[in-house]
Chains A and B, each alone.
Chain A
């Protein structure tokens, strides 16, 4: 269903000066903060957000209001951390929110900090987003200057510093405990949960609320308009609106804010109001419904609504709102490789199955693509995958600390499950070629063709001269 709801968080995207403090103030900016500081108790704010059933927009979809309530009582200080590390392939929304409406996020951060009793807030922005950092730095400076941040905000007792932090290129830092490690100046390697749930033991082992940029950008609107107005939008368990990026083989790739839970995949992929259908009149082959970690969907899933529960039950996830569409010309093995390679490259290296397993998967796929595949490789792929994510089920079971390792299994099981023939064809071609002209198995050397994904990082100074 296509509804014509007013956008909530992308409302200012067409306003050229929305990123400036004047532009923001002119369109109702910081009113929610004023309202809260004038007359709401922190508990009241938290209650309102809980009532709004605002689901986290970072991937896991956990209700923000509930999460805020998880800070153990009486433990201080607490911190608030904004996850602006957006790097899940296909995902493209947080960057826009940061670049085009930074004050909306800042206002959300201030209100959330007030609600949870945070002593300091950090906005962690992905390292590669130079413009977003620039806009945010300017926005913070301006907000300090006008008294929205800092000591005795707007004359109230509420005082807090909001600090911009930024990363340096590591997808895993999007995982909240890795983000915290990174914010502590460490290698961004996830912590094991339990015991390290950030709400209980986060930044500096203190209670810490980690929320996504989009999640917190909703907060000012909810405060101003009330939870009821928010829950009036959306479906059963998915309230409000959500921003989806539709990319790949569509006519109008783009970022669309739609009513959450009622719009279907067919609507958003095919309708002229949104992505406008498959390019060149081609056939749909498959699509990723929620970022690279999500198992792929096919034709038969098109009429599912963009609703968390429904998509979960169908065996995938809405994740970070990233829909990547592939048409029938797509080479499933190559597509699979692109995603598997990503996870192998981004593994933090902490867990053996992820560090070794994802790389092994990549190397087998590489071999198949390079014409050195063996028939036994397909079972081997699945067994290696099974050792990373036992049972290859959804939601994934894992032998690892975080879901990154198992995420590499999603594209593999999807592609191999549906398009096994394409893998077999590669292998058959290879076998045929070998029959004509025997070659020595040299899969490892083929690695050199892999466009520089061995990045400039082997800081090899082994010699100690």
Chain B
């Protein structure tokens, strides 16, 4: 718990615990104050991240508030001045031992076969305080042995001690009250409603917080004993939230992830995708060795030296054919910061191409992610604040951010204004939902702060809702915004335009950019986008700084992912390197991706698996995955945290940065890095946004929660330990400064001035796109589980991709003249798919909603990446 390490509170409440006077924080519970002062009071139901319920009664102790000692649950009582607490008196001990005996009378003695055995508070308590022999001679309660309450979680009701942790979590934290106490008294049990499983994205947390072995993960059962587990802390890179995790392994096999509680990010929670996708790393399909395509077109296992040579030759061939501009790199959001830097240096600094993009046209331009005034998660969730959500369904794409926002709204009075084209999992949290036409979020933002210009209608939002939102914003302080892409069928321009409009109207707005993939932010920070160099420097401004330090620097800004694939399809790219990228699945426009991959003469892939796209490669370099390498990662706040290696990569798979360095060598250049530490040292030296991020700081205790970049100016220049600590402590406030300029005045050691950080300029406002009367504008959303590689290679998750239908308004549906639920052909000028079309009152007239990357309905056949919006026609005739 982070609480235990907190500094003593300033205006404290004096209380005496076991004869020692301590200062408790105002409003602090006795159980916490005691723990902070070294007195651990046993507990089962209490959990510091949930409202106390005081029902297990294990934490009762004699508390004297002036009227004589009385037994009280210390998890419910706040410290009051002069309170005297006896956790070690005879009365307290007898009462606690009594509770323990009561808990044990009906608890099976199956510790030897229980997953929790060895890390079970009940077992620990029983061993240290419990009665030696049971006085309970009657038969214990019997229930049917473990029953699945969901696809991922099993419940053994005999072991349950009814502490209400899982049920409280489900209701209060996750908002999915699908498990509940049922029956009464001694018959009480936890269960689901018949036929309605505990289908929550957060179900795994209940396994982690169950104080006994009643809830277990189906994928972990009987796998290991806790005392065999070795643990190391790391950061989950499944999505960009960056939850802190503990990687737990035994005999070089990762067996589970557990959430680690850090205040600024995940509070100990994880989503099920992040928690359970470890199986993918261990999957049969995992690449163990590099592959080279033989003459017959089949992959053959190769020696690293041969594979690297082949890859380097492929790059050289591209250079020979068309110079640096004929080589391009796609992907990189899966890499560590260090590997991202190494590949940027390879691409931009050795090869000299700027055709580099770590995103697949499904995120936001670097200028926005890096350059907008930034907010942290804590800023967004600060009590009493107002948040504009212009972006994806956080529950589906950034699940633990959703939990934080949910808590902020429900407990801390944060008010949410949501701009969306279709209500989603966040809408129930919103004070106002402004439902607008796809591609017109920017129109709504303008309407929120100014009169709607004649001839426009503010994106088509309901005028009352608009008034409500206006009133709400008027009464609020500076808003924070969560900004991202809600639909992959629209370009990113609209989002940027919305940000511009927002900054025009409310210049103090700060943004949390809701990018989705694990280390997108870090990869961008390391320059993996066109026109960018490491450390949030633009190519234009940073050229002079990098030119003397790197072998070369690109001559001009290159293409983004769309441009790269277009150029490849047009035969202008000779060598394409895929860095963990699968454009055939993830790029919105499958046809363009397919043309590009089949046209490009040399395709090199660095990956963990042979994905659909990788199959087109001539050389595949097997990379190490999560938990197999050291390094750092950066979350959507710009928070850098440490990744630790726990196991060795399978086979001969290697760290990405090593691959980059080896390729550079074979292209005649030495990256001059021997280790991740070397890379970080170079990053701190060269990359402006990394200034001051020394290993000393990163690995200090105070940086356990990570550090938000850029560091405050003072410490960036003076990286001594004391200041570094302060920097870490103030990590969050760092973002409050003018991120754009803060480093401009940093004196550089020698030579040209260190470039400033990119800042968001915005552009000319766009007109709303026109829609013809026969088309519906497509909204392509995402769900947590989809056809993505990690999900599909995790057996317990693979089946959870829900599939999709096309949802339309009844008015539009009526025109089709077929019943709701009919499978129909859906077309755009570039492609067509078959989908079941249903009516949904939540869908706006003139729009059609479906989920991207689901089995059977390949929406990426419909989307033209060069268009700003995707308008579809549904053909009722063709069945």
Contacts and interface: CB of A to CB of B under 8 A. Distances in A.
Nearest to A351: B57
Nearest to A441: B137
Interface in A351-368: 351-353, 355-360, 363-364, 367
Contacts of B101: 387
Given A356-B102, A387-B94, A462-B144, A398 B71 contact: yes
A459 interface: yes
B54 interface: yes
Nearest to A356: B102
B184 A359 contact: no
B185 A355 contact: yes
Contact of B94 (A357, A390, A459): A390
Interface in B627-646: none
A285 interface: no
B149 to A, nearest CB: 8
Interface stretch (A92-100, A314-322, A342-350): A342-350
**9 residue pairs, one from A and one from B, having the closest CB atoms:** A387-B98, A444-B139, A356-B102, A349-B188, A347-B185, A359-B186, A461-B194, A349-B185, A462-B144
Given A347-B185, A400-B57, A458-B187, A352 B137 contact: no
Interface of B: 53-58, 60, 70-71, 73, 76-77, 91, 94-95, 97-99, 101-103, 105-106, 135-139, 143-144, 147-149, 157, 161-162, 181-188, 191-192, 194-195, 197
Contact of A355 (B58, B91, B162, B192): B162
Interface of A: 170, 187, 192, 194-195, 344-353, 355-360, 363-364, 367, 380, 386-388, 390, 397-401, 441, 443-444, 454, 457-464
A244 to B, nearest CB: 30
Contacts of A351: 55-57
21 contacts: A192-B73, A347-B184, A347-B186, A348-B184, A352-B99, A353-B57, A353-B98, A355-B186, A355-B188, A357-B98, A380-B135, A386-B94, A387-B94, A400-B57, A401-B55, A443-B138, A457-B183, A460-B144, A462-B143, A464-B148, A464-B197
Nearest to A195: B76
A460 B71 CA distance: 36
B148 to A, nearest CB: 6
Contacts of A454: 187
Given A387-B94, A390-B91, A464-B148, A349 B182 contact: no
B60 A170 contact: no
A59 to B, nearest CB: 20
A356 B56 CA distance: 11
A461 B98 CA distance: 32
Dominant secondary structure at the A interface: loop
Contact of A352 (B53, B57, B97, B148): B57
A349 B161 contact: no
A463 B185 contact: no
A399 B147 contact: no
A353 B138 CA distance: 17
A356 B105 contact: yes
Contacts of B182: 459
Contacts of A390: 71, 91, 94-95
A457 B184 contact: yes
A349 B56 CA distance: 10
Contacts of B77: 194
B96 to A, nearest CB: 9
Contact of B99 (A363, A399, A461): A399
A463 B94 CA distance: 40
B137 A344 contact: no
A353 B55 CA distance: 10
Q: Find the residue from A170, A457, A458, A460 having the highest chain B CB count within 10 A.
A: A460
Contacts of A380: 135
Contacts of A461: 191, 194
Contacts of B148: 464
A369 to B, nearest CB: 14
A90 B717 CA distance: 81
B55 A387 contact: no
Contacts of A398: 71
Contacts of A443: 137-139
Given A461-B191, A464-B147, A352 B94 contact: no
Given A363-B138, A460-B144, 6 more contacts: A348-B185, A353-B57, A357-B98, A360-B105, A397-B71, A458-B183
Given A352-B57, A459-B182, A464 B195 contact: yes
A368 to B, nearest CB: 12
Contacts of B139: 443-444
Given A390-B94, A464-B195, A352 B56 contact: yes
Nearest to A363: B138
Given A353-B99, A443-B138, A345 B185 contact: yes
Contact of A356 (B76, B103, B149, B191): B103
A367 B135 CA distance: 14
Given A461-B194, A464-B195, A356 B106 contact: yes
B687 to A, nearest CB: 51
A191 B285 CA distance: 53
Contacts of A355: 102, 162, 185-186, 188
A459 B183 contact: yes
Contact of A346 (B97, B138, B185): B185
A457 B103 CA distance: 22
Given A187-B181, A348-B184, A355-B186, A462 B95 contact: no
A399 B194 contact: no
A397 B186 CA distance: 22
Given A399-B57, A401-B55, A461-B191, A344 B73 contact: no
A362 to B, nearest CB: 9
A380 B260 CA distance: 43
Contacts of B53: 192
B813 to A, nearest CB: 35
A454 B102 CA distance: 20
Contacts of B60: 399
Contact of B58 (A352, A357, A387): A352
A194 B137 CA distance: 37
Given A387-B99, A387-B102, A444-B139, A463 B144 contact: yes
A401 B54 contact: yes
Nearest to B162: A349
Nearest to B188: A349
A325 to B, nearest CB: 29
A399 B71 contact: yes
Contacts of B136: 360
Counting chain B CB atoms within 10 Å of each CB, the highest count among A195, A386, A399 belongs to A399
A457 B98 CA distance: 28
Contacts of A350: 55
Contact of B103 (A187, A348, A352, A459): A352
Nearest to A397: B71
Given A360-B136, A387-B94, A462 B188 contact: no
A444 B135 CA distance: 14
A353 B73 CA distance: 13
Contact of B185 (A344, A363, A364, A464): A344
Contacts of A357: 98, 102
Given A344-B186, A345-B185, A353 B194 contact: no
A352 B192 contact: no
A358 B70 CA distance: 21
A344 B71 CA distance: 22
Nearest to A442: B139
Contact of B184 (A187, A356, A386, A397): A187
A460 B147 CA distance: 11
A356 B94 contact: no
A398 B72 CA distance: 9
Nearest to B195: A464
Contacts of A401: 54-55
Given A352-B102, A399-B71, A464-B195, A387 B186 contact: no
Given A360-B136, A387-B98, A398-B71, A457 B181 contact: no
